Amino acid sequence: MEKQTLVENLGIKFLETGQGRVVATMPVDGRTIQPFGYLHGGASVALAETVASFGAARLIDLEKEICFGLEINANHIRAKQSGQVIATAEILHHGKSTMVWDVKIRDEEEKLICVSRCTIAIMPKK
């Protein structure tokens, strides 16, 4: 499912995809850094929305529904120049038409890199 998508291009790998919780990694390398050599904030936001959206997709009936990111915010706490980051998404709210996910992105030493909250819209398929 991730082939030829942003997920593949950024090197995102899923480690855990449970009900209401998703964990994934992303490398900090040439694909995800900004021109000054640090993890790009947009890459962190893309990772956050990816894990939240994937988690939401696991909680809906994909035959009848589709989900999309509706709103996302992020606070970038710490810079990172190499290695990888690990995103953990946990559901905060599961409604009929929206879900809210909390995402924490940490490095290999468990240092907090970014915190994000993502609202996901759930819509009927056409």
Residues known to be catalytic: 49
Contact between 86 and 120 (Cβ < 8 Å): no
CA atoms within 13 A on the CB side of 4: 0
State the CB neighbour count (10 A cutoff) for residue 7. Answer: 20
